[in-house]
Structure 1
Amino acid sequence: MSERVMASNPSVNQDLVVRALRTIQGKGVEVYAFFIKGEDIVRVADISRIGRDDDDALQGFQRPEIRQHVKGILEYLDQGDVLFPNAIILAMSPDIRFSASRGSRPTGDARVSESGTLTLPVYEEGKRVAWIVDGQQRSLALSKARNREFAVPVIGFVSDSLSVQREQFILVNKAKPLPTRLINELLPDTEAFVLPRELAARKVPAELVNLLNKDPSSPFYKIIKRPSDKSSKGAVVTDSAVLTSIKRSLSNPLGALSPFKAIGREGRGDIEGMYRVLLTYWSAVKAVFPEAWGKDPGRSRLMHSAGLLAMGLLMDAVYARLSPHADIRSVQAEVERIAPICRWTEGVWEELGLAWNEIQSTPQHVKRLEAALVQAYSFNKFSKMNS
């Protein structure tokens, strides 16, 4: 698990001291509620941008700045006396300090929190004591607003675990228009807490997509487009198409990956078994259609989302006939059955009445292409069995 590591002795400019309430959630996680000047948020908190390091390990979680969004918030703030009660959520390092207030509690105190003084060291950029989990666009706007004294609510939890921060980022944003592909890429590196069922169902497919893109022996090695990639050079495949194909195979009781769901630790299934099937099948597809593999979708409809989804469905039909442990030669022989009708890079699909580059990722085109491939496979399989 990748962790955000604090610098051992980051230079401290000064401390920011605020009144705060403290409570405990989860497994002893300290959670604080306090107010802070809008301009001070970016003084104590960094924005952890999503990206990849030189070893292709996932770093950070935040999407890029949306300038138009920031501009809109800034225009609202600069109107004058405005109401802005939306809390910023921070993940805070254990470097923060809390001193509880002395004295007796008031009569009727529900005793769910205690008041005190919270001290936030102000470190240099990139080594700050906190990270913005939710509210990066708001924080950027607040830092540029005319009214620098504007007080905003903050909820902060203490954790320098990048995995915990990612999970909170996903859970906070899953009901908002957060890009699905961003959530999918973050899920494999998210481990600390129990995820909602809907997100948990997406974690294994996302993990498999990640493996396919990182494994040098995979036909998808470094050709899958991901939100963290600063450059899309060489990446031609949309990750969502591959992920959707995997999800469908897992959810279909007769799918090629379905037998591996009930095996493995912690209900995750046999990831290695699933990956072995995917690696074998797609390696066979690449071997059957080498001229169409790895090209931009504009030059090859096999790399187009429609082609990937259709070939993903064919995988289930192929493994309905073969053992999950079948070698690549056996799988390749099955895929070759549909080769005569395929027009990935030129020509006209006779069964569809469409030129190769007229196929689009619309539900209608995808279904027609899937039906054509499965029917061709079933017909050729039946013909060989009776020849």
Structure 2
Amino acid sequence: MKSIKIKAFKVSQPIGEFYCGKIKASDLVDITYSDVRRMSDSENRELDDYIGIQRPLIESRVKAIRNFISGVDSSFPNSIIIAMSSDNVNWDEYNNDFIITPNNDGDFSKLAKILDGQHRIAGFDKNNMTFINELGDESEFELLVTVFVDADISTQANVFSTVNLAQTKVNKSLVYDLESLAYSRSPEKTCHDIAVLLNKEKNGPFEKRIKRLGVATPKISNETLTQAAFVENLLKLITFDAKSDRNYFLAKEKGGKISKEYNLEKIDNSSLIKYPLRKSFIAEKDSVIAANVSNFFSAVMKLWPNAWNKSNKISSLNKTIGLIALFRVLKDILSYMNERYNIDALRVLSIDDFSQILDGGDLDENAFMQLDAVSKSSKIIYDMICGNLALYDDEDA
């Protein structure tokens, strides 16, 4: 009879014994509840009922994981945890072989209940269960797996709560800060580097204004913006899919056969207009990106100095909602320039250029002091500034 044999070792802890090993992703998909998305309410849901938590698959998360799996440097170094019946397993202690056997009808499906990792497993399909290794050969994607055998429902619930309910969400600003350590080019790394540069720019619009790790820097007051907010909004001017761009540059860095597996997307004219700093990014002209951002916000600081002043507690312009609105305005201006004239990776608008465009003469900065610092105010700020733009000439009107 066919079986699945994995190399493993037995672990003894206060909760009991379990097995840790490595398994091919294709085999793990076969033995776990592969139709979890269509599972009926009553089928194999005793764990959910016991702990009082429903665990539906979130399709957006599955899609994100599927894209991650297809990346150049994807990895899952943490273990997927499953529970199985002793009816379907044998432990060969001498050879350290954990042997999985099918049901009497030879069926391997639904042998293992997923305690942790259902989204990771759902992210695998026939297109990403193998990858091209550094030698240019096709390799099986392997996963770490932890198996509890004959664990009762109480034990399963204990494991689930331990690995799922006590997790601390990672600060997004820290994630972007770690991008600076990457050796290959990526949109996130570029945006992070620009955030750091502008935060240090003497007398610049962002000087000592950005919280590097999402928390206040000691001895610096009124850091009104997070690094995550800056990076996420600048990314919208550069890329439609930061991970896709990152995969391309990382594959290019690695070279060999894998470098031909990834291509830069959205490089047609309409896309380069929609993402107005994309051509500068592709051309590796990060200084152009930084200069345009710095000059635009310097013009904002020049036109509305009190509203942009980071010490102004009642202004909405100097806060995250203002930043979001202003990056939208910058995107509109640069997209217009690309469409009206030409797409130029080296184009830098000066502070005076931006000032003339922003100053339609009708917007008093006191208007920014009269808005509540809530998310819906961002759209109001955007509309106010756009209504004041001196951008379109008679030919465009």
What interval of TM-score do these two structures reach, taking the shorter chain for normalisation? 0.3 to 0.5
Query: What is the TM-score when the length of structure 2 is the normalising length?
Result: 0.43
Query: What is the TM-score when the length of structure 1 is the normalising length?
Result: 0.44
